[in-house]
Amino acid sequence: MIDVSCFVGPGPLTSVSTPDSLEALLRAEGVVRAAVSPMPALFGGPEFPLPSSDFFTPVPIVEPGAEFSADGPAVRVRTARGAEAVKRACGAAGLVFILQLRVADPRNVPAELGLADVTLPDALALARAEPGVPMIVAGARVPELDAILAAAPSSVFAELSLAEQPDVVRRAVRTHGAHRLLMGTHAPFLTPAAARMKLAAARLSPAEHAAVSYRNAEALGF
């Protein structure tokens, strides 16, 4: 499995913070490559050097309005405001644009951590903008994922780490097609066992399984 959504570095909600510990955690659940973003950037913290290796693909978190560069195939944004310009710049630079809709269940985290969700209307507007630029919606719940993939061009993909309902992967494949779905673990916030178990429970054809677990990610450069 290629994990298109995980985080590394110190943060308030997890004790797994080093690249080595994250890699061990992910490998134990069958992840062979992971697109990793800096945890501190989610909380307004200092810069954190992203690992780059055969296992980790660095994905910086970009603040709209700030200049950015990327050593990997993608950048991630955590806010919709000003993000359309980032998406446009991604198109010019040949990068994948990742929109992180949410990081944690707002019922369970202190408001002062500033982990506000991106709203569905804002996510939809971004998904429709710059339709030639590949985009991944990360951290969506099932209703959000359904609404965005139904309304957005086929250049928009979704990763499934925070999408949860019985048979979630199978239903998403039947509804949207395996070609638009990717696996993310959202580690180390979540146990990566969840991504493995969701996929294993999906009863997909070998071709569908391969597409969702790694082929779509490979095609996007991960």
Q: Given the rule CB under 8 A, which of 44-52, 86-94, 158-166, 176-184 is the region that contacts other proteins?
A: 158-166
Least distance from other proteins to the Cβ atom of residue 35, Å = 18
Task: Give the other-Cβ count within 10 Å of 218's Cβ.
Answer: 12
By CB under 8 A, name the one of 2, 8, 16, 123 that touches other proteins.
16
By CB under 8 A, name the one of 46, 69, 92, 108 that touches other proteins.
108
Give the whole-angstrom CA distance, residue 148 versus residue 207. 24
Task: Select 95 or 169, whichever has its Cβ closest to other proteins.
Answer: 169
By CB under 8 A, name the one of 29, 63, 84, 146 that touches other proteins.
29
By CB under 8 A, name the one of 14, 17, 155, 175 that touches other proteins.
14
Do the Cβ atoms of 109 and 13 come closer than 8 Å?
A: yes
- Peptide bond before 188: cis, by omega within 30 degrees of 0? yes
By CB under 8 A, name the one of 120, 129, 168, 210 that touches other proteins.
168
By CB under 8 A, residue 133 contacts other proteins: no
Residue indicated by tokens 């959000």 = 144
Give the whole-angstrom CA distance, residue 164 versus residue 116. 20
Sheet holding 156-159, edge to edge: 74-77, 96-100, 135-138, 156-159, 181-182
Residues near other proteins (CB under 8 A) are: 14-16, 25, 29, 104-111, 162, 164-168, 171, 186-194, 196-198, 200-201, 203
